[in-house]
Amino acid sequence: MTMPSQQEMRIAISSRDKSYDGCFFYGVITTGVFCKPSCTARPARPENLRFFPSAEAAIVTGFRACKRCHPTEGNPGVSRLIEVARYIELHAEERLTLKKLAELAGLSSSRLQRIFKDAFGVSPKNYQDSVRMRNFKQLLKNGDGVTDAILSSGYGSISRVYGEAVRNIGMTPKTYRAGGAGEAITYAYRVTALGLMAMAATKKGVCFVQFGEDKASLLVQLHEEFPNAKFIASTNQDSPELDAWMDALNKHISDGTPRPDLPLDLRGTAFQIKVWRFLLSIREGEVLSYSELAAQLKKPKAFRAVATACAKNHIVVLIPCHRVIRGDGHLGGYRGGIERKRALLDAERTPQKNSQDNYST
């Protein structure tokens, strides 16, 4: 399923257009609730909206169903899975067996495992892990001590949570607890053929590449990811490495040179990172549909989760999510705007362009 353009979705929400119900769902980050386009709830500020191709995608991201518009009604199968997901969320710190969850759903263990994974793109166990990690992150942000957060989240040992946390959030729990405090992130802007671009990097590598209309909006996006990190506005003299990386990416975008093979600091769920790593293998000039990408990952029914992972890519172009389009051949969505996606694909299809692309592994 491919969503309409953001402009079209915003108009549908503003007019509470029932004809768009089922085409997409939207979440409000200030309330943690997701709704149908026709919901009669008080309109949210545009910057607080997040869009999803399905109710399952919104749930996996951490939103809960609106009690006014009931976005999951009319689909008993989804409602049953949502009940299981909600049970996992309420008991994430406990040891949950597949058998117990299957009994709650009135299904066999094998069937629950299969349809849960088809709907959400992850198994019940992986979903519990992601909820536990989300709870752990929130406790750290709320100021809980690391040890207390570990115990409250249901982790059995400090060594285990440190290994899992660093893999999922890219920094130690102590650093993440303070919203990235102590994490030095250098950022810079560059005007490219596709407009203003921001790049940011940690000591591990590039963690952020986005396009925007102005520096302020790009900086807001960066702050949302690392609210309390130390941000360093780079100059050529201050950070020659970042400047060189931006120069290489700008030449790729503006002049058609090969895509640079830069170190990346990936931050996301295990499934999202799996999708992003696969995107790195799609050759220049080639495209895949969301369904084809899901099939390549051996999760043919997880195309909605794949679409969500593409939408959450914070490192555009270097992770070429623009090479994933709708099954009907239309471009679909893109965080940087549909015109930038079209321009990137058109440039990659140009015969004069150097076809020798570099690939990360």
pLDDT of residue 181: 57
Q: Percent helix, strand and coil across the chain, each rounded to 5?
A: 45, 15, 40
Q: How many residues are given for the chain?
A: 361
Are 216 and 207 contacting, i.e. CB atoms less than 8 angstroms apart?
A: no
Q: Which residues contact 262 (CB under 8 A, 6 or more apart)?
A: 205, 206, 245, 248, 249, 318, 360
The structural domains of the chain, ordered by start, are 6-56 (3.40.10.10), 76-177 (1.10.10.60), 184-238 (3.30.160.70)
- At position 113, the amino acid (one-letter code) is Q
Residue 59: the pLDDT is 75
Q: Where are the beta strands (DSSP E) in 22-75?
A: 25-28, 33-35, 49-52, 64-65
The neighbour count for residue 60, using CB atoms within 10 Å, is 25
Closest by CA position to 251, among listed 324, 194, 323, 320: 194
Residue recorded with tokens 């990172």: 273
Residues of the chain short of pLDDT 70, as ranges, are 1-2, 60-62, 74-79, 118-122, 133-182, 235-239, 350-361
pTM given for the model: 0.51
Nearest Cα to 139, choosing from 85, 93, 208?
93
- pLDDT for 9 equals 92
35 is catalytic: yes
Cα distance between residue 67 and residue 22, in whole Å: 17
CA-nearest of 149, 119, 115 to 134 is 149
Q: Is 39 a catalytic residue?
A: no
pLDDT the model gives residue 168: 46
pLDDT in tens, 107-131: 888 888 887 876 666 688 877 777 7
- Rounded to whole angstroms, what are the CA distances from 129 to 92, 204, 209, 259? 8, 24, 28, 35
How high is the pLDDT of residue 136? 61
Question: Of residues 39, 66, 69, 321, which has the active-site annotation?
Answer: 321
The distance of Cα 93 from the centroid of its chain, to the nearest Å, equals 24
Amino acid at 261: D
Q: Which of 35, 39, 66, 207 is catalytic?
A: 35
- pLDDT tens digits, residue range 50-59? 888 888 777 7
Closest CA to 318 of 200, 229, 193, 237: 200
pLDDT at 77 (0 to 100): 59
Q: Would you state the pLDDT for residue 83? A: 80
Give CA angle at 100 (94, 105), nearest 5°.
Answer: 120
**116 contact partners, CB below 8 Å, separation of at least 6:** 81, 84, 123, 124, 127
pLDDT of 253 reads 87
- Look at residue 316 in the predicted model and tell me its pLDDT: 92
Residue 58: the pLDDT is 78
β-strands 205-212, 230-233: how paired?
unpaired
Residue 287 phi, psi dihedral angles, 5° rounding? -135, 155
**Can you give the pLDDT at residue 328?**
76
